[in-house]
């Protein structure tokens, strides 16, 4: 459905002359991503209103988007899977906020803050294979991710120790940052597995080719 809507939007802008027909695929892809993100945000907003946790939802969303913009991370194969993954992550946040004690939330925030900072500092950014980065862009985002994660950890540690009444809000912010960090880790693991699989395939192909001479006859 999103793909069809993105195609219609692109066709409209092509007809008006705002978009060149040769750039159709690029705009269709970006419109589809934009629509998916808008749908995800709308779902989070509705969830925040229905659960009575609108402020925590907005803080989680803001933190998630900020770190996602510099850290990248895992991308599901379809928009539906992406939506369901985000729904599961957000649902876990609501459960923790509703049932977790202040002590549990503070402890969880500290652990996630430390783990998230380490993961983002060493692994970010993790690029999407459908939208690869140039080396200069990768280096720039790496620096931003490191500085942002360090600053976030410092501010978060100070607020956790000086403003215990804000624990749920701080937990929501840290949860957003930690969710991105885990996503970056998942993307890195997936990239490593793909690289290893490609290397094995190439080695097997070279081994197979080495059994034949230049005329195509099997050696030995």
Q: What is the pLDDT of residues 49-69, one digit of tens each?
A: 999 999 999 999 999 999 999
135-162 helix and 102-123 helix, angle to the nearest 10 degrees: 160
User: Domain check: are 106 and 87 in the same one?
Assistant: yes
pLDDT under 70: residue ranges of the chain: 129-131, 207-220
Q: Which two tokens stand for residue 25?
A: 């695929």
Nearest residue to 174 (alpha-carbon basis) of 90, 121, 116, 124: 116
In-domain check, residue 10 = yes
Mean pLDDT of the chain, nearest integer: 87
Q: Which of 60, 65, 62, 3 is nearest to 30 (CA)?
A: 3
Percentage of the chain with pLDDT > 70? 91
Q: Is the domain of 40 the same as that of 139?
A: no
Give the pTM.
0.85
Q: Return the pLDDT at 53.
A: 96
What is the token pair recorded at 8?
């219609």
pLDDT for residue 197:
84
Q: Is residue 219 part of a domain?
A: no
Domain span at residue 193 reads: 53-209
d(CA 207, CA 129) in angstroms, rounded, equals 28
Residues 121, 171, single domain; the answer is yes
What's the pLDDT score for residue 130? 62
Give the pLDDT confidence score for residue 64 in this predicted structure: 96
H-type alpha helices, 72-166: 79-99, 102-123, 135-162
């Amino acid at each position: 459905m999103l793909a069809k809507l993105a195609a219609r939007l692109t066709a409209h802008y092509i007809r008006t002359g705002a978009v060149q027909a040769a750039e159709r695929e690029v705009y269709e892809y970006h419109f589809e991503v934009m629509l998916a993100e808008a749908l995800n945000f709308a779902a989070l907003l509705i969830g925040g209103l229905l659960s009575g946790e609108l402020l925590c939802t907005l803080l989680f969303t803001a933190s998630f988007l900020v770190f996602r913009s510099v850290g990248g991370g895992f991308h599901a194969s379809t928009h539906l899977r992406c939506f369901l993954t985000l729904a599961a992550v957000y649902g876990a946040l609501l459960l923790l906020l509703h049932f977790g004690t202040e002590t549990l939330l503070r402890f969880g925030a500290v652990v996630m803050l430390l783990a998230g900072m380490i993961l983002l500092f060493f692994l970010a950014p993790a690029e999407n294979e459908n939208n690869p980065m140039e080396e200069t862009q990768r280096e720039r985002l790496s620096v931003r991710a490191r500085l942002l994660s360090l600053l976030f950890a410092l501010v978060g540690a100070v607020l956790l120790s000086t403003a215990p009444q804000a624990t749920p809000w701080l937990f929501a912010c840290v949860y957003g940052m930690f969710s991105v960090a885990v996503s970056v880790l998942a993307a890195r693991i997936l990239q490593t597995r793909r690289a290893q699989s490609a290397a094995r395939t190439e080695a097997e192909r070279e081994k197979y080719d080495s059994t034949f001479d230049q005329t195509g006859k099997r050696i030995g």
